A and B are shown apart, each in its own frame.
Chain A
């Protein structure tokens, strides 16, 4: 990232070229370059929402695809998410100011009894990197804690993580409680954790099992799009 050797001047690129360059720079985790490009697009009167969705989110989608396909690994993805976050920091107040639609808000935490948080942290960082708002409620969460957080934050998505085979069944307890209280359809429920699989996700009544953080992001986007379509239908 040495600017001396790099004679590329972002402000000299046209919009289309600049957006493509932002995707490349996100891929390489170049935070300062992303921040600079976001500011350039703002000066060119792009709306914050367009910068978010057409440049940053699209760029992170490519990172997600290569992570899913085993080309990029966690360190590269975290660097990319860090660069994205740099851009988001500039955009966030402007997005609120302009009343832009939000991509979605997720409450995430490991279930009661489970203290393994690395997977959950990665999902949180990737989701944030993709433009979602994240309320991370940490480890060892009871039904009551999940429900309170969902309500308090007016969340769209519930993300539960469990690494242990002994704690996985607790996810069903949380989902069953949502059903009992007639709130199940208010939320998209995504589950994840090393020992889980699609079959398990279905068996406990989740919307989807997400194999890794990249799949979580893709799945969340897909379900949010469906939700928006339902609302406008």
Chain B
């Protein structure tokens, strides 16, 4: 039995992902500090509206409201005993919304990082991380998710722990990392490192890629890095709608729908097969992205100059590849 995402990937040239969950929920009145996952129980109508926003904008895939729905994150709200239920409801509402749409839409059960640092530098053991992810995965699959969708990961160990957990549950999955530090993830993973890690997994994802990070330009540069490593599985691109700016006491993302349309085209040209947005990406951005993808033919693989000229500069000079980064200092008196 094949899953819906694999089916759509085999039928279509590209798929449109969804936009921002947090930004949208805050616009609906979520209070800062509140766990969005609790709304699955208290405001299912608003969660449905969030999903419908993506569906009505033409998304082929949308993520459930469960990003922080793991034991470690819910513990901060004293809701660690409700992991299964909150995730199940998140997926159930998604299932209903997708089934009511009248077209094939993938309900992707969102799984975010634990927020803990893993051994040996941190405290979280691999086995505990697997348990944490497994508990959440069970709830999402029970609620009717088509696939699981791991996002915003920075540590390779955490990505691997999730892969193991999803294997234990028998769930098809997608997993993306956030490249926000000089072209690498916070933990130092480069784009090519990620491809090597993903290709080496026993339980490979259906697709892998990058989400969030700094701006859309940086994200596209990461896609170019994936390309260099010739990945055997499809690439996901979910960039932020520009960079947040503080204007008159409010925050807004400076990426216009037109700009996100340009981003979507460049992402496709750079090899992404699943293209969506992350923070700041609202339904109007998704509509513009879809229109751009439908009306514009594919172009050549962009270079960093094209990206810079279309979407703006990068946050760092180097992407961590090609020896652009100076190497670590040598321990002068010790061998290694």
A residues sitting closer than 8 Å to B (CB atoms) are 5-6, 8, 13, 17, 20-21, 24-25, 27-28, 62, 66, 69-76, 78-79, 82, 112-118, 121, 139-140, 164-170, 194-195, 197, 199-200, 203, 212
Tell me, rounded to whole Å, the shortest Cβ–Cβ distance linking B246 to chain A. 5
Tell me, rounded to whole Å, the shortest Cβ–Cβ distance linking B65 to chain A. 16
B333 partner residues in chain A, CB cutoff 8 A: 8, 13, 17, 21, 24
Tell me, rounded to whole Å, the shortest Cβ–Cβ distance linking A3 to chain B. 11
Tell me, rounded to whole Å, the shortest Cβ–Cβ distance linking B69 to chain A. 13
The answer to whether B187 and A71 have CB atoms under 8 Å apart is: no
Distance between Cα atoms of A117 and B35 in the complex (Å): 14
Distance between Cα atoms of A28 and B154 in the complex (Å): 21
For the complex, would chain A's binding face be called helix, strand, loop or mixed by DSSP majority? Answer: loop
The answer to whether A166 and B329 have CB atoms under 8 Å apart is: no
Tell me, rounded to whole Å, the shortest Cβ–Cβ distance linking A167 to chain B. 5
New A-B pairs, 15, CB < 8 Å, besides A72-B188, A78-B122 = A66-B328, A70-B182, A70-B325, A71-B326, A73-B186, A74-B154, A74-B187, A79-B120, A113-B32, A113-B33, A117-B115, A166-B251, A168-B246, A169-B249, A212-B181
Known contacts A6-B335, A74-B186, A114-B32; is-contact A195 B251 (Cβ 8 Å)? yes
Distance between Cα atoms of A18 and B285 in the complex (Å): 59
Distance between Cα atoms of A66 and B327 in the complex (Å): 9
Partner of B117, one of A27, A78, A166: A78
Distance between Cα atoms of A200 and B252 in the complex (Å): 13
The answer to whether B33 and A75 have CB atoms under 8 Å apart is: no
A28 partner residues in chain B, CB cutoff 8 A: 331, 334, 336
Partner of A27, one of B31, B77, B120, B329: B329
- The reply to whether the CB of B300 lies closer than 8 angstroms to some CB of chain A is no
Distance between Cα atoms of A21 and B328 in the complex (Å): 16
B73 partner residues in chain A, CB cutoff 8 A: 115
A194 partner residues in chain B, CB cutoff 8 A: 180
B250 partner residues in chain A, CB cutoff 8 A: 169
Tell me, rounded to whole Å, the shortest Cβ–Cβ distance linking B30 to chain A. 8
The answer to whether A167 and B33 have CB atoms under 8 Å apart is: yes
B residues sitting closer than 8 Å to A (CB atoms) are 22-23, 26, 31-33, 35, 73, 76-77, 115, 117, 120-122, 154, 180-184, 186-188, 244, 246, 249-251, 316, 318, 320, 325-329, 331-336
The answer to whether A118 and B334 have CB atoms under 8 Å apart is: no
Q: Which residue from chain A places its CB closest to the CB of B316 in the assembled complex?
A: A70
The answer to whether A71 and B328 have CB atoms under 8 Å apart is: yes
The answer to whether A115 and B76 have CB atoms under 8 Å apart is: yes
The answer to whether B326 and A69 have CB atoms under 8 Å apart is: yes
The answer to whether A24 and B246 have CB atoms under 8 Å apart is: no
Distance between Cα atoms of A217 and B77 in the complex (Å): 31
The answer to whether A70 and B251 have CB atoms under 8 Å apart is: no
B334 partner residues in chain A, CB cutoff 8 A: 6, 8, 24-25, 28
The answer to whether A113 and B326 have CB atoms under 8 Å apart is: no
The 9 A-B pairs at the shortest CB distance, nearest first, are namely A73-B188, A113-B32, A70-B182, A113-B33, A165-B251, A78-B121, A195-B244, A166-B32, A24-B331
A-B residue pairs in contact (CB < 8 Å), sample of 21 = A24-B332, A25-B334, A28-B331, A28-B334, A70-B184, A71-B326, A71-B327, A73-B186, A74-B188, A78-B117, A79-B121, A115-B33, A115-B35, A118-B117, A139-B76, A164-B22, A165-B244, A167-B32, A167-B33, A168-B246, A169-B250
Distance between Cα atoms of A114 and B35 in the complex (Å): 10
Known contacts A21-B333, A195-B244; is-contact A118 B181 (Cβ 8 Å)? no
The answer to whether B32 and A75 have CB atoms under 8 Å apart is: no
A24 partner residues in chain B, CB cutoff 8 A: 329, 331-334
B336 partner residues in chain A, CB cutoff 8 A: 28
Partner of A200, one of B26, B188, B246: B246
B31 partner residues in chain A, CB cutoff 8 A: 113
Q: Which residue from chain B places its CB closest to the CB of A5 in the assembled complex?
A: B335
Q: Which residue from chain A places its CB closest to the CB of B116 in the assembled complex?
A: A118
The answer to whether B325 and A140 have CB atoms under 8 Å apart is: no
Distance between Cα atoms of A6 and B318 in the complex (Å): 35
Q: Which residue from chain B places its CB closest to the CB of A2 in the assembled complex?
A: B336
Distance between Cα atoms of A21 and B332 in the complex (Å): 8
Distance between Cα atoms of A194 and B243 in the complex (Å): 10
A70 partner residues in chain B, CB cutoff 8 A: 181-184, 316, 318, 320, 325
A140 partner residues in chain B, CB cutoff 8 A: 33
A73 partner residues in chain B, CB cutoff 8 A: 181, 184, 186-188
The answer to whether A203 and B246 have CB atoms under 8 Å apart is: yes
Tell me, rounded to whole Å, the shortest Cβ–Cβ distance linking B326 to chain A. 6
Distance between Cα atoms of A164 and B31 in the complex (Å): 11
A17 partner residues in chain B, CB cutoff 8 A: 333
Q: Which residue from chain B places its CB closest to the CB of A115 in the assembled complex?
A: B76
Distance between Cα atoms of A139 and B246 in the complex (Å): 23
A121 partner residues in chain B, CB cutoff 8 A: 117
Distance between Cα atoms of A56 and B55 in the complex (Å): 56
Q: Which residue from chain B places its CB closest to the CB of A168 in the assembled complex?
A: B251
B181 partner residues in chain A, CB cutoff 8 A: 70, 73, 212
B120 partner residues in chain A, CB cutoff 8 A: 79
